[in-house]
Structure 1
Amino acid sequence: MLPGRHHRPRAFHAAAVLLLGLAMSLFAIPAEPSSALAPNDVATNARAGETSSAQLPDSFQWSSSGPLIAPKPDAAHPVVSVKDPTVVQAGGKWHVFMTTANTQGAWSMAYTSFTDWSQAGSAPLTYLDTNPDIGNRYAAAPQVFYFAPERLWYLVYQTGPPSYSTSTDPGNPRSWSAPRTFDNAAGSGTLDYWVICDSAMCYLFSADDNGHVFRSETSVGEFPGGFRNTQLVLQDSKSALFEGGAVYRVQGSGTYLLMMEAIGSDGRRYYRSFTAQGLTGRWQPLAATESNPFARSNNVTFPAGAWTRDISHGELIRTGNDQTMAINPCRLQFLYQGMNPSASGDYSQLPWRLGLLTQTNTTC
């Protein structure tokens, strides 16, 4: 098995998590799905006029690009890997934020942008530690979105606890504010934070590398403050629910999709998926086994050659860029991290690169 990643200082208190799990129900009580927030004047927000009634299939097939985004080391940034991508489209460009690791095992973040995926490999990387408000701190696992009620961009990431920076211009790496911490959110021993909102509430999902998925909540009006009511919403073995979680609203429906990275019996990373009706609904398996995964080496083809056996921490391409995290089930694409199958050694030194999956078995 691949060694577990060490993206954050570990302040994990096993006894506290055990008590939390005993104190909380395993599944949240299903609730009626809420409608999405009305879009603001973001040019790429495609939710207005949704009519799709398409559903997610029960199984998936994908075709993968080769590596599209690779490290671009310089004298100040001896970077060996790029990973954990988050991606939005705004202003006619793709904006990608990612985790970086250097030769000393230090974790930070980088940004790139381009108008077409064919340009991704040649687009420059800007390291976010060059922004003095972020600086040379531990930072990893970003998620970017436009919070329409405030007309403000958010970059959610981990600095140990769940943190965020804000900006009015996602294309300007120096515009991001210094990180602030989400209050009262699940944070001790958790990682890979993910925010998603419906019309009334915002939810923060996280994992603990030990088979647990948590959810905290606040109202849209209180966001980014007021998080409370932490729930344990999924539980399985450590390898079956590991990390890299993400949650999306299926466009034109009340269905939500939760993806979680797992470690397979071959030691390779892959994704399982679950669905629920509403963000507080009960998560049911969709494509969630090694033989029927959401995305794994056994349901991905590589026309240019199999450059990875891991389908690891990534993000689906959204239909818009706001806090509702909507996806079109007819045109799924998945930006993910993979690496040379022969690579080994310390997790921080593994040569992760970013590639793009495109679904090939759509029924729409």
Structure 2
Amino acid sequence: MSPGCGVPTSFKWESSPALITPPSGSVSIKDPTVLFHDGKWHVYATHYSNSYNMTYLSFTDWDKAGAAPKTLLSTNPNLTGYKCAPQLFYFSPQDLWYLVYQSQPPTYSTTRDPSDVRSWSAPRKFIENEPAIVTQNKGSGTWIDFWVICDDANCHLFFSDDNGHLYRSQTSKASFPAGFGTPVIVMSDERFDLFEAANVYKIKGTDKYLLIHESIGDGRYFRSWTADKLDGAWTPLADTQANPFAGKSNVTGAGWSNDGISHGEMLRDNPDETMTIDTCNMRYLFQGRTRAGAEYNLHEYSLGVLTDAR
């Protein structure tokens, strides 16, 4: 088993073509979560037709992704209505799979079979109402793009507000999914410099964590930071548009996405709550805008994969 390759000092990527297109009748497929389990890749993602909901597909190899059947999560009576921006992981202490999503509050469902859309439980909320610290700082934004990661003792819920703030709430691993406390602001910046779609990962073979966060400049791009612990201070890694985690300046082959590199997820080393990635073999599933619409909801998005090209 690979011990990992440590913290990267730079990033360079080659993009696939658009591999996964929207379900029939939908304008876009976005915000993917992805993991490998039981011999196949599992992808959950947002789709938009007249409203936002989610879709599921699975496949054994990426060259089969485009032909994989898609199942709308709204076919599960528990998951109708506005639900989007999923995160999928296996919570090992409970032998349960969690699907985290926004409804608008941070919400989750559970199952013992992540390939069975109809098996997901009724939604439950991590935090019932928008916290005061978010209301005071969000401006015209809202709390968005929820992300869970656990260390040995605690589970942490990260999220953004489309207004330059990254937040974190915490509960003990023994109490999860209950007990998330009052969020704190992890970092703040100008609105478009710290916009949305935060991911946090454990770097395999190290005591380091990697944070990536979407920004808006000349198109969408991702900044990155590292930390020694999930409730610690974050140190800039590749955190500018000229030197990003991923963006137009260090990605080739993504010309099909006319607005840069947007909301996605790393292909992880294992499916569990530690969110571990192997930096020896980095790949990132992302949303690319194939055509601009008359308004944001009508932008057309498909999914492609970035592969490490350093």
| Gap change, CA 1:232 and 1:186, over 3 Å in 2 | farther
**Residue aligned with 2:231, SS:** coil
Runs of 5+ consecutive residues of structure 1 not aligned to the other structure: 1-48
CA distance in 2: counterparts of 1:249 and 1:185, whole angstroms: 29
Distance 1:319 1:300 in 2: 22
Displacement of 1:72 after TM fit? 2.5
- 1:323 aligns to 2:273 (yes or no): yes
Counterpart AA for 1:320: N
Where does residue 312 of structure 1 map in the other structure?
A: 262
- Counterpart for residue 35 of structure 1: none
1:32 is aligned to none
Please tell me whether Structure 1 or Structure 2 has the larger radius of gyration of its CA atoms. 1
| Cα distance in 2, alignment partners of residues 240 and 144 from structure 1 | 26
Match of 1:61 in 2: 12
Partner of 1:215: 168
Report what 1:87 is aligned to.
Answer: 34
Cα displacement string for residues 310-356 of structure 1 (whole angstroms, at most 9, x for unaligned residues): 2000000100000000000111100000022x524211111100000
**Cα pair 1:68 1:353 within 8 Å, conserved:** yes
The answer as to whether partners of 1:185 and 1:227 remain within 8 angstroms in 2 is no
Aligned position for 1:354: 303
Letter in 1 for 2:309: T
Matched, 1:174 2:123: no
Aligned to 1:51: 3
Q: TM-score, normalised by structure 1?
A: 0.80
| Aligned residue in 1 for 2:105 | 161
2:153 aligns to what?
200
> Offset at 1:50?
6.5
Counterpart code for 1:93 = K
Q: Which residue of 2 aligns with 1:148?
A: 92
Count of paired positions: 300
Q: How does 1:68-147 map to 2 (within 5 A)?
A: 68-73=19-24, 78-102=25-49, 104=50, 106-135=51-80, 137-147=81-91
Q: Are 1:186 and 1:216, in contact at CA under 8 Å, matched by a contact in 2? A: no
Structure 2 CA distance for partners of 1:242 and 1:129, relative to 1, 3 Å: same
Deviation at 1:59, TM superposition (A): 1.7
Task: Name the SS of the counterpart of 1:55 in structure 2.
Answer: coil
Measured in 1, the distance between the counterparts of 2:185 and 2:2 equals 32
The TM-score, its normalising length taken from structure 2, stands at: 0.94
Aligned to 1:250: 203
Q: Structure 1 residues 183, 237: CA separation in 2 closer, same or farther (over 3 Å shift)? A: same
Specify whether residues 360 and 87 from structure 1 end up closer, same or farther in structure 2 by C-alpha distance, changes over 3 A only: same
Partner Cα distance (1:125, 1:347) in 2: 23
Matches of 1:165 and 1:316, distance apart in 2: 22
Q: Does the residue aligned with 2:118 lie in a helix, a strand or coil? A: helix
Q: CA deviation at 1:133?
A: 1.4
Q: Tell me, in whole angstroms, the C-alpha distance in 2 between the residues paired with 1:87 and 1:186.
A: 28
Q: Distance in 2 between matches of 1:168 and 1:312?
A: 30
Which consecutive unaligned segments of at least 5 residues does structure 2 have?
135-141
Note the C-alpha offset of 1:297: 1.3
Contact 1:242 1:260 (8 Å CA) reproduced:
yes
% identity of equivalent residues:
49
| CA contact 1:262–1:270 (8 Å) conserved in 2 | yes
- How far off its partner does 1:184 sit? 6.1
